[in-house]
Structure 1
Amino acid sequence: MQAGILLAFASYLAFSCGDATLKAIGDRLPIFEVGFFISLFALLPALFTKRPEDTWSNVLVPKRPGLLLIGMASGTIGGILGVIAFTSLPLAEAYALIFLLPIFVTVFSWLVLKEEIGWRRWLAVFGGLAGVLLVVRPGFREVLPGHFAAIGVAICGAITVIVLRVLGPSERRVTLIGAVLVAAVVVNGALMIPQFKTPSHELWPLILFGGLVVGVAHFLIVMATRLAPAARVAPTQYSQIVWATIIGATFFGEFPDTIAMIGMVLVGVSGLFTFVREKEKTTWPEKTPLLRNR
C-alpha cells in the first residue's frame, strides 16, 4: 500500500514535469505538432504496462470498442486543450481549473448515470465553482482562451471517467492507456500536416523529455494501482498543484497571489470531498482504473 502511494506521488510529479515541458515549448511549435510528438514518445514507456500474461492480440482488441472510441475522443480532445492551457496559463492556475474534473463527474453522474447526489456533494460542487471564480476573477482580470481550454480539459476528463466506470471491469489498463495515446498520435499527426514546422535543435531535448516523462508517469501510475487500490491512489493527484506551484515559481517566475491560492485550496478541498463522498456512496472508485485524462 505505502509503496503504491509513493509511486503515485512520483507519477504525478512526472506528469507535472511533462506539463511544465509544454509550457517551456510554448508557441515555438504548432499545438498539434506538440501533441503529436509528446504522445508519440509517451507511447514507448506506456507499452511496458502490459502484464506478462497478456498477449498483444488481446491487448489490442478491446471488448467494447464503441465506448473505447468515446474515451479515445475525449482523451485526445482533452490533450489538445491541455497544450493550449499549459502554454498560455501559469501552471498552478491551469491545474486549479482542471481540478474541476471531479465536480463535473458529479454533475454528469447525476445527468447520465442518474445517481442520487446528496446536498453535501452539491455543496462541494458550488464550493469548487467559487474557488474557480477566485482564481480567474472574471471582470477583474483578463479571461484568456487558456482558461476555457483548462475547463474543457476538466469536462473531457469527466467524460473519460464516466466511460471508465463502464469499461474498467472489462478492459485491460494497457488497452485503455494505449488507445488514448494512439488516438492522440493519429489525430494530432493528421492535423499538424498543414502547418508542420521542423523543430529546432534546442527544442528536441524538450520534446523528447516531455514525451518520455509522461510515458514513465503512465507506467508508474499503473504500477501504483497494482500495489494499492485505485481509491487510495487517486487523491495523490492533487499533489500536482503543489508541484506546479514549485515548478512555476522556480523555472517560470510564477507566483500566485493570496486570493488565487485561496481559490486553489478551495477547488482542491471540494474535489477531494467529492471523491470521498462518491467512495462512500458508490463502488466505482474501487474498480475504475486510473488514467491520465488528458
Structure 2
Amino acid sequence: MTPDLTLDSRPVAGILWMLAAGLCFVVMTALVKSMGQGMHPIQSAFLRYLFGIVFLLPALRQILSARLTRRHWTIFGVRGAIHSVGVMLWFFAMTQIPLAEVTAMNYLTPVYVSLGAALFLGEKLAARRITAIFVALVGAAIILRPGFREVSPGHLAMLGTTLTLGGSYLLAKVAVDDLSPAVVVAHLSVWVTVAMIPFAVAVWQTPTWHQVAVLFTIACFATAGHYFMTLALKAAPVAVTQPVTFLQLIWATLLGALVFGEGIDPWVIAGGTLILASVSFITWREAVLKRRQITPPSIAPKL
C-alpha cells in the first residue's frame, strides 16, 4: 500500500525543490563551520538570527494583524527560549565535531518530536513507531560509540540541540492549530533573537566586515532553504520528498573531507542512515494511514 498522490501532486518538482533546499542547508552549515574559532558561537548564532529578521519584512502586515491571546504569547516566549538554547548549542557543536556528525545527529530531532507528541499531545504510539524510534536510537549509538571513543562536548551539544529543537517543534505544532505558519515562524525569529541578546553581549567582540558578510550569507541560505522546502512540500507528499534529505549527509561528508580535511567515518554514515530510515518510515506510515502528521515534514536543520 502506498501513500495517495493528489491530482495536484508533482513528485519530480517536489524532489527537485527538496534537493535545492538540502543544498542550501548544507552550504549554510559549511559557512557556519568556516567561521571556526574566529567568533564566539553564541555571537554567531545571535547575528545569524538578527540578520534573518530582514526577511520577515514582506510578511510584516500579516504578522501585525494576527490576533494573539495570552496563551499564544506564552507559547512564543517559551518556544523562543527553548529554541535559542538549541541554536546556541548547534553553533557550538559546529566548532567541535565534523560536518557529517552534525548532520547525522540532527536527524534525531523528528524522533524526539514523535516521542514528545505521544507523551504530551496524546498521539498514539503504535508498535511500528516504537520500533522505528528504537532503530533511530541504535543509529545514534553507532555514531557516538560510547566506550569505544571519546564522546566530546560537541556530541553532547548536538544531543542537546536535537532535544531542544524537538521541544520547539512540538510547541510550533500547538501554535499552528489557530495561527498561520508565517506568523509562527516570524515570532520564532524575533523571540530567539531577543532571548540571545544577553548571551551575545556577554561574549561580544566587534565583528569584521568579512564575518558580517558571511553571517548575512548564512541567513540568506537558511531563508532560501526554508522557502524551497515549502515549495517541495506544496508540490509533493512528505513521504516522497523526505528520503531526498539523505543526500544532505552525503554532501556534508564530502564537504567535510574536501574543504575542511575531515576524515570519512563509515560508522557515522551507517548511523545516520539508520536514523533517517526510521524517520522516513514514520513519515511513510503517517501518509499511508492518512493520520495527522506528527513528524516534522523535513529533517533539515531549521536554524
TM-score, scaled to structure 1: 0.86
What amino acid is aligned across from residue 37 of structure 2 in structure 1?
Answer: D
Contact 1:92–1:245 (CA under 8 A) maintained in structure 2: yes
Q: Distance in 2 between matches of 1:66 and 1:232?
A: 35
State the number of aligned residues.
290
Alignment of 1:130-169 (within 5 A): 130-169=138-177
State yes or no: 1:30 paired with 2:40: yes
Q: Which moved more, 1:252-261 or 1:143-152?
A: 252-261
Contact 2:113–2:294 (CA under 8 A) maintained in structure 1: no
Contact 2:46–2:193 (CA under 8 A) maintained in structure 1: yes
Q: Distance in 2 between matches of 1:267 and 1:230?
A: 17
Residue 235 of structure 1, CA deviation: 4.5
Alignment of 1:160-199 (within 5 A): 160-199=168-207
- Residue in structure 2 matched with residue 77 of structure 1 by the alignment: 85
Q: Specify whether residues 184 and 56 from structure 1 end up closer, same or farther in structure 2 by C-alpha distance, changes over 3 A only.
A: closer
Calculate percent identity across the aligned residue pairs.
Answer: 26
- Residue in structure 1 matched with residue 49 of structure 2 by the alignment: 39
Where 1:284 maps in the other structure, the secondary structure is coil
Contact 1:91–1:245 (CA under 8 A) maintained in structure 2: yes
Q: Distance in 2 between matches of 1:202 and 1:288?
A: 35
Which of 228, 247, 264 in structure 1 is aligned with 2:255?
A: 247
Contact 1:16–1:243 (CA under 8 A) maintained in structure 2: yes
Cα shift readout 1:183-226 (whole Å, capped 9, x = no counterpart): 22222232211221112344233222212211222333334444
Alignment of 1:193-272 (within 5 A): 193-229=201-237, 232-272=240-280
TM-score, scaled to structure 2: 0.84
Contact 1:42–1:216 (CA under 8 A) maintained in structure 2: no
- RMSD (CA atoms): 2.7
Which of 85, 88, 101 in structure 2 is aligned with 1:93?
A: 101
Q: Specify whether residues 286 and 100 from structure 1 end up closer, same or farther in structure 2 by C-alpha distance, changes over 3 A only.
A: closer
- Residue in structure 2 matched with residue 58 of structure 1 by the alignment: 65
Q: Distance in 2 between matches of 1:159 and 1:287?
A: 12
- Residue in structure 1 matched with residue 122 of structure 2 by the alignment: 114
Contact 1:160–1:293 (CA under 8 A) maintained in structure 2: no
Residue 177 of structure 1, CA deviation: 1.6
Where 1:88 maps in the other structure, the secondary structure is coil
Q: Distance in 1 between matches of 2:116 and 2:19?
A: 28
Q: Distance in 1 between matches of 2:37 and 2:277?
A: 33
State yes or no: 1:103 paired with 2:111: yes
Gaps of 5+ in 1: none
Gaps of 5+ in 2: 1-9
Q: Which moved more, 1:139-148 or 1:111-120?
A: 111-120
